[in-house]
Amino acid sequence: MNMTIFKNMKAIALGLFISSSLAVMTGCEDEVDKGNRFTFTGELIADHLQDNPEFSDFCFILDKAKIGKKSSSSILKTLSTYGSYTCFAPTNEAMRAYIEKLYNEYNESVEQNRLDPDHSIINTGVTSPILEEVSDSFATEIAKNHIIEMGYKTIDINEGAFPMVTMNRRFTTIIFQQNEDGSISPILNNEARIIRQDLEMENGYIQVVDAVLAPSSKMSNELLAAQPSFSTFSEALKATGLDEILTEYEIDPNYDNTVLGPPFQTQNNATPPVPEENHQRFTLLVESDDLLADPTKNSLGMSIKTLDDLVKFAEHWYGTEAQGEYDNPNNALYKFVAYHIIDRQLLYSSSTGPGGFLMEGYDHKEFKSEVNMPTAFDRYDYFETRLPYTMIKVTKPFTNTTPYTRYGAESSTSLGQEIVINYAQDNGTRCVVPGMEHHINVVVEPAGVSQRRPGLEEFNQNAQNGIIHTIDRILIYNEEEMSGNILNERMRWDIMSIFPELTNNGVRWQLQDQYTLTYIPNGFCKRFESLNNDTHVYYLRPHATGLGGYVNFQGDELLVIGKYDFQYRIPYVPEGNYELRFGFSMSDARGIVQMYFDGKICGIPVNLKNTSENMTFIGWFDEESMSEDEIKENDKAMRNRGFMKAPASYHVTNDGNSMRESDLALRKIVGTYRLSKGDHWLRMKEVTENSTGKLCEFNQDYIEIVPTNIITDQRKPEDIY
């Protein structure tokens, strides 16, 4: 079904209407500036719930629930303040069914334990069928699973997940299910149907649900094992010992999210917050049993139904080293499984917030992803896996109109509307290794499609420490295919994308209105090292852009303040020769940086200031009145000085101007290097003379790692995009 038509069907079927502007998020304060409220005049969420008897049980839970350990205020009181909230409100019938279910599970386990002491008592959190006897802590858990501190209408949410986490720091997944009468219902967490949607209150929206939202407390490996249709992959995961990795969650039990960073000197000494949490999360890309068993879906024509079958298939692609030693990183089965594990949680779609495979639908604080990142160009990113020194490429190939039919669908759309893993060159058509044509262009399936597969009707993808996605082909890593095809291209990462901690903990593309900056404590990101105590690192979220302003690829950037000295590990790429570049925005507030790569100095220091003298040295030119040949000659002259204009594929204004047209956005060529398997570090050291006591900023927007054969290919010169 065409997604535009589907969006319209949602609008018609749900009877929705466009909302007024969202209020600034106010968090959990009891007293909130009423100037932040909606212009709509009506009830507050708490008033509506209390005035309607069908929510009396939920109101009891909300009143019993506390905002935090240091606050005596209830969540119900919070919903009586001005601000912006989404409240998933279960009916009394839903609340009673939930309490009864948990009590019965607990009571049955108690009886079984009485008969057999070896049988464990299940701690469901409910030890009585009486609602009023629910503990404060359990009431708080229930309540927080139902509140998002930002108001959302379902018509504004793409299939995948709500943009922001609940007060319990969990994402709420959403699919749209067509009913027998042709209407469409939103389903949350594959367990609750929204039966009345988008009830507009003065401080947000109420979504009435027919079941209590109870995200799984299972870790990723446990959730996978609990679903029989993943039996083959789950058995392989356990055999390799990689299931133990997927138990990781709590990185630092003593992490304090109330500690603030140092004042930011250019914003009236405002003190930005630190990330609210510090957790490890994962993404699992999994082949379901029915896919593995289909001999038409793999290069060997095998029907893979057992672990031995999967081992045989894996050995064909990964070799027979350490044969039979499944927990050995050199073993074929280990390599197969490890390549399916990504180092961060990636939602199918995050609509407008953090956590998605790709940035889509972000419209906040004058930054609009669908304007700044036009669909005339494919959207892409790269993520490392648990297979050492490897990564996957993720693409939304907007330019590819090849028909694609999702599993179980009656009609096709196009491949350009899908999230594709390891999208091939030449519009997805090229394959350099025989047999790999079965294992490139792997499509990530939305949860609604996963549920069509045999045995996945009750598919639950949302674990406490990650998320599970089904895929439509068997995923294989092949070095020759990656280096000669998939990754034989100019690779570009937004600098903030290479640190998984920022995605895992809701920092990247965050929507909080109070702050533009988030302070990143030293040690928070494993791939980033501060080398002195005067290095203060900030995440700068997407913000207003435009010619003459600070133009940014994907909106956000790394901002470092002080007499800094730091380094970060660049992403893993196939072994080979590469040109390394970094993209940045120039500013008067910025100083001079000396770069080092793997401990060796990289040329002369780079001046980041936008002075006329510096612009003359760099050789930036306005090409508006120049011929094509003149432009090419000037581009060569800039390269000879070690600089390039910014890419033209990224727009900075609504009228279609690109980053290339901004004299503040540049690429600096760091150098050409042989990248072997292993860690490689890029170091930045501030070397401005007489900078003590002065503001010294460092900005990095993105990094490019470009195979040298692309740069030297005269038949197909590198484009300006």
Same domain for 204 and 237? no
CATH number of the domain that residue 525 is part of: 2.60.120.260
**Has residue 253 been placed in a domain?**
no
**Has residue 350 been placed in a domain?**
no
pLDDT tens string 358-399: 988 887 767 788 888 889 999 999 999 999 999 999 999 999
Lookup result for tokens 């609750």 = 192
Supply the pLDDT for residue 35: 33
**Has residue 357 been placed in a domain?**
no
Q: In this predicted structure, which of 152-166, 170-184, 472-486, 544-558 has the lowest mean pLDDT? A: 544-558
pLDDT band at 349 (very low <50, low <70, confident <90, very high): confident
Mean pLDDT for all residues in the chain: 88
Q: Please state whether beta strands 697-700 and 576-585 pair in parallel, antiparallel, or not at all (unpaired).
A: unpaired
Same domain for 58 and 129? yes
Whether 692 has a pLDDT exceeding 60, the answer reads no
**Has residue 450 been placed in a domain?**
yes
Same domain for 481 and 496? no
**Has residue 364 been placed in a domain?**
no
Do residues 666 and 586 make contact, with C-beta atoms less than 8 angstroms apart? Answer: yes
Question: How many percent of the chain have pLDDT more than 70?
Answer: 89
Work out the average pLDDT over 196-202.
94
Same domain for 529 and 547? yes
Q: Look at residues 436, 454, 486 and tell me which one is the last residue of a structural domain.
A: 486
If one counts the domains in the chain, the total is 3
For residues 78 and 71, give the distance between their C-alpha atoms in angstroms, rounded to a whole number. Answer: 11
Same domain for 613 and 481? no
pLDDT band at 6 (very low <50, low <70, confident <90, very high): very low
Supply the pLDDT for residue 509: 84
Q: Look at residues 209, 237, 256 and tell me which one is the last residue of a structural domain.
A: 209
Same domain for 445 and 551? no
**Has residue 352 been placed in a domain?**
no
Q: Look at residues 453, 468, 486 and tell me which one is the last residue of a structural domain.
A: 486
Same domain for 437 and 474? yes
Number of helices (H), then strands (E), in the chain: 19, 32
Supply the pLDDT for residue 234: 98
CATH number of the domain that residue 97 is part of: 2.30.180.10
Token pair recorded at residue 720: 């300006």
Q: With CA atoms as reference, report the closest residue to 246 among 285, 287, 215, 280.
A: 280
**Has residue 252 been placed in a domain?**
no
**For the whole model, what pTM was predicted?**
0.88
Same domain for 193 and 224? no
**Has residue 588 been placed in a domain?**
yes
Same domain for 303 and 407? yes
CATH number of the domain that residue 455 is part of: 2.30.180
List, in order, residues 6 or more apart from 62 with CB less than 8 Å away.
46, 49, 74, 75, 76, 79, 143
pLDDT tens string 87-137: 999 999 999 999 999 888 878 887 887 788 877 877 777 778 888 888 888
pLDDT tens string 260-315: 878 776 656 678 889 989 999 999 999 999 999 999 999 999 999 999 999 999 99
Per the model's pLDDT, the better-predicted residue between 428 and 14 turns out to be 428
Same domain for 500 and 466? no
Same domain for 547 and 476? no
Same domain for 514 and 647? yes
Domain with 682 in it: 491-712
